[in-house]
Chains A and B, each alone.
Chain A
Amino acid sequence: MKRFLLIAGLMTALPLPGWAAGASADGPHSRVTLAAETLSARPGDEIWLGLLFKMEKDWHIYWKNPGDSGQAPEVRWTLPSGFSAGATQWPFPRRLELPPLTNFGYEDRVLLPVRLMVPADAKTGLFPIEASLDWLICKVECLPAAGTVKISLPVSLEKPRPDPRYQEAFARAKASLPGDFPGWRLRAEAEKGAVALTVAPPGKASVAQPEFFPEDGLAFEHAAPQGRVQNNGDWRLTLRLSDQADAAPKRLRGIIVSQSRAMNVDVPIAAAAGAPLARALALAFLGGLLLNLMPCVFPVLSIKVLGFLQTPESQRRKQALLYALGILLTFWALAGTLLALRAGGEKIGWGFQLQSPPFVALMAGLLFTLGLNLLGVFEAGVSLTRLGGLTAKVQGPWGSLASGALAVVVATPCTAPFMGAALASALLRPPQEALLIFTALALGLALPYVLLSWHPAFLRLLPRPGAWMETLKAALAFPLLASAVWLVWVFSRQCGPDATAGLLSGLLVLGFGVWIYGRSSSSFGRAAGLSLALLGLAAGAFSGRFGSSPTAAAGLWEPYSADRLAELRGQGRPVFIDFTAAWCVTCQVNKRLVLTKEDVLAEFKARNVALLRADWTSRDPAITEALAALGASGVPVYALYTEKDKPATLLPTLLTRAGVKAELEKLDRFIVK
């Protein structure tokens, strides 16, 4: 009873927060107060203390990374035995510019929270909590300040109540502390003299201009603008490295601030992904050159070259330039559309056009028609031969432009070596760079023809016009028809056998209509033929709306899904992902030559590597996202996941059996048999 009364008496006698003089200390132009969030604490509790700084107008103190100059406040705690204090927490700072220098700090007032741990065996009573502080306060000039602050913290068994004087300050401070936001994707990449930080909000959330504050005071040029670019909801910040930075910093640490919230950043810095622009431009140009040899484009080029023989010399250069212009404009239009769609939120990559079965059907129809034209089934205004300049009429400027556009159109289903990689990387870059890459491709495509037109000498090598031209013209139909066959195969992979029958029937009707058109001399006949042809084309494209891809072959390869990948990695199994598509020629080649070979598959099996196939033949935003996370926007991509938390190793685009086996052998270091 006595003890109860004693304790009760003690509890009622507990003073109200009578902070003894000493809770605040004055410095030049500033005052710091030691605050506790609650009026008391229970044994075993963790409560928040706060260092509340109040500064005169225009005077500021500094963040943990003060920036180019200055010094962050330092605190040393003197605590009763058993008590411990955590590290000082830093609400997000403001940029304080003093050109050409930049600092990070706080103006007016700020509360720096610190966690206090009360030991579980603390007796009830008052405990002195003391902090000795050094801080630097600056306006333009700086003044050092120091002071000691002390409070008596009651420890009692009653439930702690918040101290009303500091409730708002604590709330504001806690809301300004950087947090972790799962769902946001942060990626850092090394660039020349800078680090590129990509901030991707989840879903379609949009965020206002984020700002990065580095933890390291030496690595970055604090005063440099952060080059913010918004692309499809994601922000890309370019953080300039300072003269004193490590040549290749490995980790990016700091915070991102946007709309009065702050997020922690602690990510590895990936080595410069993607070729430097010059290399991508060279690849694109080379790809464009090689595109002239592809079965889709080669006939067009050949016809145009033959057309020289019937073009007066004075016209040749002009027509060649217009052709080049046609190519350039069409590529820009294509690039512009792709970039606009990406910016609008569509998750597309290079090759996206072939992911749409109606488009594939239309292209197949177009190539089929062009082939028929070369075979002589019909002649028409917008025909290859007309555009090629093989007819008697001299080609007008529009004709040359149109032939350039046609060259690009027939080129889209074809991908030349090098072109795929260059274009896939193009779409991940800022828009100006992407357009430059497409321009390089266009120039590569146009160059051979323009060169030929410039040097009359070459044309003397061509034999005199004659009957051989008709034979050649017909022969060139076959590469075009072969390309059409390939597209029908892609279509069949996307839509299944029934829809393919629909497409083939449509092509049949198209052929019939075109034949009627070609044979009629009356305008009625021609109109009928044309209508029939268009009907066939439409029917073919329409069948692309039905049907579904045939079920993936069961067995060794599982279909890719992000959940399955996470599951397998959680199990500790290495995973190999084949990002592929039916319309991707390189992918098919790799499959035939490497990924279906017995010995390679045996190597995978021996190491218990899970095989996932990400089929991108048709639109699949999940796969597009997975590709983007790996730094790619096109296929093929071969990703090998080994150790649990390590990022994937990307194998080269052109696989070799030896190469794959060598990569798998590296796994033996990690796997415990």
Chain B
Amino acid sequence: MKKIFIAAAFLAVLIPSSQAAKVGAPAADFTAKDSNGKTHKLSDYKGKYVVLEWLNHDCPYVRKHYDKGNMQQLQKTYTDKGVVWLSVVTSAPDTEGYVTPEEANELIKEKGAAPTAVLLDPTGAVGKLYGAKTTPHMFVVDPKGVLIYNGAIDDKPSTKPKDIPNSRNFVAAALDEALAGKSVTNASTKPYGCSVKYAKK
């Protein structure tokens, strides 16, 4: 028994972290607690589409999508279609965007957000696993566990909400195409936003 445990621990360390964000490759399986204390694993959602949205409500780029209800609309539309939408907060304690579980729940109510759950990742483990660089940074995983989108939320990097109606939303496009059985046209784009506030080493 001890041997199996040691072997498993050894293997766990070997799980590659840098290739987890390559479109077309299996997305890395993460484990994280949400704002209600419940543990989520990517493998829990096999058979469903999963959207990962890196979140920081103090970032002007995130505000752009939340102030006029753009992000909330996306969340409602696609969770109604059976997509699992996970917002991830990777800000380290004492950095911009960091929230306690209570604060996270407060913000969900305040903003009228509709994610399946808000995952709290203050150690940055999930962020580093996916190479999350900005808020927002969007990932879409298909029911087989393969990453089909990695990048920006839309094609207009700006902080202005008035740009939203004229932008092409990559996440919506990717989900629409995938749900219709087609391959994703823009599968990899440069994410824009504030930097994710990882803990200083």
Q: Which residues of A contact B (CB under 8 A)?
A: 68-71, 98-101, 103, 134, 136, 138, 140-144, 217-218, 242-244
Are A243 and B22 neighbours in the complex by a CB distance under 8 Å? yes
**A615-B201 Cα distance, complex, nearest whole Å:** 58
Beyond the given A243-B19, A243-B21, could you list 20 further A-B residue pairs with CB under 8 A, ordered by the A residue number?
A68-B133, A68-B134, A69-B193, A69-B196, A70-B195, A71-B157, A71-B158, A99-B201, A100-B198, A136-B159, A138-B195, A140-B195, A141-B59, A141-B96, A142-B60, A142-B195, A144-B60, A144-B159, A218-B189, A243-B18
Q: List residues 54-68 of chain B with CB under 8 A from any CB of chain A.
A: 58-61
Which of B58, B158, B189, B195 contacts A68 (CB under 8 A)? B195
**A520-B95 Cα distance, complex, nearest whole Å:** 92
Across the interface, name the chain A residue whose C-beta is closest to B201. A99
Task: Judge if B200 is at the interface, Cβ distance under 8 Å.
Answer: yes
Across the interface, name the chain B residue whose C-beta is closest to A222. B133
Are B151 and A244 neighbours in the complex by a CB distance under 8 Å? yes
Are B59 and A140 neighbours in the complex by a CB distance under 8 Å? no
Residues in A neighbouring B195, C-beta threshold 8 A: 68-70, 98, 101, 103, 138, 140, 142
Are A101 and B58 neighbours in the complex by a CB distance under 8 Å? no
Task: Judge if B131 is at the interface, Cβ distance under 8 Å.
Answer: yes
Q: Mark B126-139, 1 if CB is under 8 A from A, else 0.
A: 00100101100000
Q: List residues 166-201 of chain B with CB under 8 A from any CB of chain A.
A: 188-198, 200-201
Given the interface pairs A71-B157, A101-B195, A101-B196, the reply to whether A140 lies near B95 with Cβ below 8 Å is: yes
Q: Describe B's contact surface by its main secondary structure.
A: loop
Are A101 and B133 neighbours in the complex by a CB distance under 8 Å? yes
Residues in B neighbouring A140, C-beta threshold 8 A: 95-96, 195, 197
Are B95 and A243 neighbours in the complex by a CB distance under 8 Å? no
**A143-B194 Cα distance, complex, nearest whole Å:** 9
Task: Judge if B150 is at the interface, Cβ distance under 8 Å.
Answer: yes
Which of B128, B157, B194 contacts A142 (CB under 8 A)? B194
**A243-B194 Cα distance, complex, nearest whole Å:** 20
**A218-B189 Cα distance, complex, nearest whole Å:** 7
Residues in A neighbouring B197, C-beta threshold 8 A: 140
Which of A100, A141, A142, A217 contacts B190 (CB under 8 A)? A217
Total count of chain B residues near the partner, CB < 8 A? 33
Which of A103, A138, A243 contacts B150 (CB under 8 A)? A243
Nearest Cβ on chain A to B94's Cβ, whole angstroms: 10
Residues in B neighbouring A134, C-beta threshold 8 A: 158
Question: Which are the 3 A-B pairs with shortest beta-carbon distances?
Answer: A69-B195, A144-B159, A68-B133
**A243-B22 Cα distance, complex, nearest whole Å:** 5
Residues in A neighbouring B60, C-beta threshold 8 A: 142-144
Which of B21, B158, B198 contacts A101 (CB under 8 A)? B198
Q: List residues 33-89 of chain B with CB under 8 A from any CB of chain A.
A: 58-61
Are A218 and B188 neighbours in the complex by a CB distance under 8 Å? yes
Task: Judge if B164 is at the interface, Cβ distance under 8 Å.
Answer: no
**A64-B188 Cα distance, complex, nearest whole Å:** 20
Residues in B neighbouring A98, C-beta threshold 8 A: 195, 198
Nearest Cβ on chain A to B139's Cβ, whole angstroms: 11
Highest count of chain B CB atoms <10 Å: which of A69, A71, A103, A136: A69
Nearest Cβ on chain A to B24's Cβ, whole angstroms: 10
Which of B150, B159, B193 contacts A244 (CB under 8 A)? B150
Which of A103, A141, A144 contacts B58 (CB under 8 A)? A141
Across the interface, name the chain A residue whose C-beta is closest to B23. A244
Nearest Cβ on chain B to A355's Cβ, whole angstroms: 46
Across the interface, name the chain B residue whose C-beta is closest to A143. B60
Given the interface pairs A71-B192, A134-B158, the reply to whether A244 lies near B198 with Cβ below 8 Å is: no
Nearest Cβ on chain B to A249's Cβ, whole angstroms: 13
**A352-B75 Cα distance, complex, nearest whole Å:** 68
User: What are 9 A-B interface contacts by the 8 Å CB criterion?
Assistant: A69-B134, A69-B191, A69-B196, A99-B200, A138-B195, A144-B159, A243-B19, A243-B21, A244-B22
Are A99 and B151 neighbours in the complex by a CB distance under 8 Å? no
Highest count of chain B CB atoms <10 Å: which of A68, A217, A218: A68
Are A218 and B190 neighbours in the complex by a CB distance under 8 Å? yes
Residues in B neighbouring A244, C-beta threshold 8 A: 21-23, 150-151, 188-190
Are A69 and B21 neighbours in the complex by a CB distance under 8 Å? no
**A142-B191 Cα distance, complex, nearest whole Å:** 16
Nearest Cβ on chain B to A590's Cβ, whole angstroms: 44
Residues in A neighbouring B21, C-beta threshold 8 A: 243-244
Nearest Cβ on chain A to B121's Cβ, whole angstroms: 14
Residues in A neighbouring B133, C-beta threshold 8 A: 68-69, 101
Residues in B neighbouring A68, C-beta threshold 8 A: 133-134, 195
Across the interface, name the chain A residue whose C-beta is closest to B25. A243
Highest count of chain B CB atoms <10 Å: which of A68, A140, A142, A242: A142
Q: Mark B88-99, 1 if CB is under 8 A from A, else 0.
A: 000000011000
Across the interface, name the chain B residue whose C-beta is closest to A219. B190
Q: Mark B9-38, 1 if CB is under 8 A from A, else 0.
A: 000000000110111000000000000000
Residues in A neighbouring B198, C-beta threshold 8 A: 98-101
**A136-B195 Cα distance, complex, nearest whole Å:** 12
Are A142 and B22 neighbours in the complex by a CB distance under 8 Å? no
Residues in A neighbouring B189, C-beta threshold 8 A: 218, 244
Highest count of chain A CB atoms <10 Å: which of B96, B134, B188, B195: B195
Are A141 and B128 neighbours in the complex by a CB distance under 8 Å? no
Across the interface, name the chain A residue whose C-beta is closest to B151. A244
Nearest Cβ on chain B to A52's Cβ, whole angstroms: 23
**A98-B95 Cα distance, complex, nearest whole Å:** 13
**A438-B23 Cα distance, complex, nearest whole Å:** 40
Nearest Cβ on chain A to B153's Cβ, whole angstroms: 14
**A357-B195 Cα distance, complex, nearest whole Å:** 63
**A141-B197 Cα distance, complex, nearest whole Å:** 9
**A306-B155 Cα distance, complex, nearest whole Å:** 77
**A396-B47 Cα distance, complex, nearest whole Å:** 72
**A101-B195 Cα distance, complex, nearest whole Å:** 8
Residues in B neighbouring A218, C-beta threshold 8 A: 188-190
Residues in B neighbouring A70, C-beta threshold 8 A: 194-195
Are B59 and A142 neighbours in the complex by a CB distance under 8 Å? yes
Nearest Cβ on chain B to A215's Cβ, whole angstroms: 12
**A68-B158 Cα distance, complex, nearest whole Å:** 15
**A138-B61 Cα distance, complex, nearest whole Å:** 13
